[in-house]
C-alpha cells in the first residue's frame, strides 16, 4: 500500500462509516484519473484518462470486501493493419481488505516480516480506516489488456508483399511467378508447336529414279 496518501486522493476510500459492523454496506461510484504505466505488450490505458468505478463495500468479520467493476479506455495499434485502436475494457473486482490483527487488549500485532499471512488469504491490508484501490485496480486492468488487439474481428491486415492495406482494396493481389517453372514452360511450348515438312515428295522420286538408273 502507498504510505501517507491523503484522504482526498482519488484511490483512497474512507470506510469509517461501515463501523466494523458485519453486514454494513456502502456504494462508491466515481470517475478517477487512470494511473500511469497501465500497459501491456499490445495496449495501454492512457495516464489521466477516465477510469469509471462502480463498487460495493461490505463489512465482513475479517475486514472490508470490495466488489464491483472498473471501466477504462484503451489505446492500442491493430496487430494486423497497424491502424490505431480506441476501445474500452471493464474488469471485475473482488478484493478483501483485512483489518489489522489485534491482541486481547485491542493492541495491534506486528505483521509477519514476509507478509505470508496476507498472501495466504489473498487479502490486502487496511490502512486504519482507509483502503487504497490503486494496487488492486492496476493488477486487474493490466492482465485484462489485449496482447494482440485488432481494429475489427475480420480485419484482413496488410499485403505481405507490398504492405498495402487490404481493407482498402479487397481484390488486391500479385501475380505469382516461380522461376523454377520457366524452363518447363518453354519445353511445353516447343512440344506443342506443329512440325513443318522440309520438302515435297517430288524430289524424293527423282532421287529414287536416279538410283534405279545407276543400278541398271
What's the grid cell of residue 45? 490505458
Q: How many whole angstroms from its chain centre is CA 87?
A: 11
- pLDDT(98) > 70: yes
Question: Are the C-beta atoms of 61 and 98 separated by less than 8 Å?
Answer: no
- Residue 34, CA distances (Å) to 10, 43, 67, 117 in order: 10, 14, 19, 30
Alpha carbon distance 154, 80 (integer Å): 10
SS3 of 202, please? helix
Tens digits of residue pLDDT in 118-158:
444 467 888 888 999 999 999 999 999 999 999 999 988 88
Question: Among 19, 24, 45, which Cα is nearest to 33's?
Answer: 45
**pTM across the whole model:** 0.66
Helix (H) or strand (E) holding 119: helix 116-120
Alpha carbon distance 191, 180 (integer Å): 19
Alpha carbon distance 136, 163 (integer Å): 41
Question: Are the C-beta atoms of 85 and 100 separated by less than 8 Å?
Answer: no
Tens digits of residue pLDDT in 21-77:
888 999 999 999 999 999 988 899 999 999 999 999 999 998 999 999 999 999 999
**What is the residue whose three cell numbers read 458485519?**
22
Amino acid at each position: 500500500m502507498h504510505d501517507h496518501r491523503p484522504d482526498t486522493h482519488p484511490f483512497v476510500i474512507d470506510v469509517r462509516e461501515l463501523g466494523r459492523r458485519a453486514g454494513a454496506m456502502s456504494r462508491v461510484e466515481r470517475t478517477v484519473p487512470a494511473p500511469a504505466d497501465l500497459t501491456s505488450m499490445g495496449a495501454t490505458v492512457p495516464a489521466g484518462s477516465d477510469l469509471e468505478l462502480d463498487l460495493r463495500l461490505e463489512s465482513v468479520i475479517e475486514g472490508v470486501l470490495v466488489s464491483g467493476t472498473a471501466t477504462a479506455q484503451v489505446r492500442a495499434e491493430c496487430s494486423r493493419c497497424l491502424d490505431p485502436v480506441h476501445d474500452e475494457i471493464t474488469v471485475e473486482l473482488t478484493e478483501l481488505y483485512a483489518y489489522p490483527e489485534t491482541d486481547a487488549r485491542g493492541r495491534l500485532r506486528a505483521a509477519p516480516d514476509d507478509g505470508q499471512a496476507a498472501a495466504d488469504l489473498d487479502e490486502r491490508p487496511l490502512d486504519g480506516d482507509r483502503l487504497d484501490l490503486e494496487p488492486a485496480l492496476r493488477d486487474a486492468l493490466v492482465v485484462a489488456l489485449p496482447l494482440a488487439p485488432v481494429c475489427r474481428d475480420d480485419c484482413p491486415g496488410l499485403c505481405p508483399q507490398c504492405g498495402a492495406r487490404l481493407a482498402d482494396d479487397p481484390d488486391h493481389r500479385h501475380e505469382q511467378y516461380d522461376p523454377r517453372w520457366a524452363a518447363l514452360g518453354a519445353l511445353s511450348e516447343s512440344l506443342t508447336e506443329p512440325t513443318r515438312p522440309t520438302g515435297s515428295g517430288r524430289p524424293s522420286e527423282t532421287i529414287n529414279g536416279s538410283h534405279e538408273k545407276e543400278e541398271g
